[in-house]
Amino acid sequence: MINRTALPYPLSSVHLFQSLRHLKLPALLHSGLAGDKKTSRFDIVVADPSKLIRYQHGILKIESEGNSGESIEEIKTVEPILALAEHFPWQNNNVDARDDIPFCGGLLGYFSYEALHDLHKVSKKHNEGPGLPSILAGIYDWAIIVDHHKQSCTLAAQTDCKREKLEKIKHLLSNRTNLQGESFKITSAFNSNVSNQEYTQAFKKVMQYIQAGDCYQVNMSQCFQATCEGDSLQAFIKLQQQANAPFAAYIEDQNQAVLSFSPERFLQVKNKVAITQPIKGTRARHYDKAKDEKALNDLINSKKDKAENLMIVDLVRNDFGKVCRTGSVRVDALYEPQSFANVHHLVSSVSGELAQSKDVFNLLNACFPGGSITGAPKLRAMEIIAEVETAPRSVYCGSIAWINTNGDMDSNIAIRTLVRDHDQIYCWGGGGIVADSDAQLEYQESLDKISMFMDALS
């Protein structure tokens, strides 16, 4: 059973988060309020997990709270996602589950792009970059769910959540204080880790691999870095007001933070039915309405972008086939145009029913990282990415996810994502390269996707 306490519907979920952000590992999943879409219904706020999970340098460290204090367990593994399943508080809450409470406790956190590189034997040669863990997550026994459709707010808690903890949360919320630091600001210009010329050289190498038949598509990115100071949450608030992203997230861990403004769902599971919605195909938006419509129509009619999208659809169908019931995998939507604050995209949707012996961790392990940000075939594309890119991706192109105790889940592909590490802030932009790609158009696309964020902060 789940204990539910009705709370006043907030003007902003950020206000709830600010009252709790001084607790351990606070996180906010923000749906952007972008119209009537199902993806824009819920915001989720959590903090103070009963277990804190970090995976770094091949070691899965689990810090647990208990009556006798904290205990720490360390596990050496190259399969951290499957190892997590063994420490997950499975409960059969299907009878108690309600559509207006998608997450009532379980795992919430991020998985960096390189999290499974050891498992896949992909090189991790880059040492410089953000020093965040490969996986950072909490096992939470409570969550605040803000339902924007019903204009309701609920504190949902597992039955084993300590009463003192819930009373503390209620007290903090009723005596709300906006805990925020100094205004966030960039203290140097954003600089890319590659020049235009170096990008072009890497592009040519990727094209050689494509022409040699090694791969069909490679998603190549560049990393931008600047120095900064002030409160990262203020940056998140400012950028989300502009991006209005349906899969936005903010996770804070002392002097490190992840600010994600993703438009892309990675994996969703409800009652063992899995859905993935890869994005491939992009056009920059324009203030001029006629130019904007022309860009959208150009995308809708682009054979090249549709071919890129179809390659990834085939890839994720193959990933789903590893863990889904035979015959259940299908394409529900193909090349659906969707418009966001700064770009138009083509979005497809693939679904499948998990096999009886498989769960969400098996699904995540089989599909990670998402095909839309690697290329096809996935493993060879990842190897080429490791060869031509000169900076680690960190949380960018990984995933921010929640997994409910009944086995349901939802997650994003962490594109349009910034990472704060002390006084450094990083962001990345990329795109899929195929046989008929043009180097300068791809370079420009990588800028179009993130220029809004860099410009706003600068």
Report the catalytic residues: 264, 280
CA–CA separation, 83 vs 81, rounded Å? 5
pTM of the model: 0.94
Look up residue 57 and give its two tokens.
């340098």
CA–CA separation, 261 vs 243, rounded Å? 7
Residue 324 Cα distances to 2, 24, 66, 270, 315, angstroms: 29, 36, 37, 13, 14
Torsion over CA: 189, 18, 253, 422 (sign): positive
pLDDT score of 280 more than 80: yes
pLDDT score of 181 more than 90: no
**pLDDT band, residue 45 (cuts 50/70/90):** very high
| Of 234 and 339, more confident | 234
Question: Alpha helices, DSSP H only, in 175-302?
Answer: 196-211, 232-243, 289-300
pLDDT score of 238 more than 50: yes
Look up residue 161 and give its two tokens.
């959540």
434 contacts 421 by C-beta, under 8 angstroms: no
Summarised one tens digit per residue, pLDDT across range 182-210 is 899 999 999 999 999 999 999 999 999 99
The predicted structure's pLDDT at residue 96: 53
Cβ burial of 66 (10 Å; 0-12, 13-18, 19+) is exposed
pLDDT score of 1 more than 80: no
Q: What is the average per-residue pLDDT within 232-257?
A: 95
Q: Residue 348's closest CA among 388, 306, 377?
A: 306
Domains of the chain: 2-173+185-457 (3.60.120.10)
Phi–psi pair at 448, nearest 5 degrees: -60, -35
Summarised one tens digit per residue, pLDDT across range 368-391 is 999 999 999 999 999 999 999 999
**pLDDT band, residue 320 (cuts 50/70/90):** very high
Summarised one tens digit per residue, pLDDT across range 385-410 is 999 999 999 999 999 999 999 999 99
CA–CA separation, 22 vs 290, rounded Å? 47
Tokens 């800028």, located at residue: 447
**pLDDT band, residue 95 (cuts 50/70/90):** very low
| Of 179 and 239, more confident | 239
Summarised one tens digit per residue, pLDDT across range 11-40 is 899 999 999 999 999 999 999 875 545 667
Angle ∠(11,235,370) on CA atoms, nearest 5: 95
Summarised one tens digit per residue, pLDDT across range 127-157 is 678 999 999 999 999 999 999 999 999 999 9
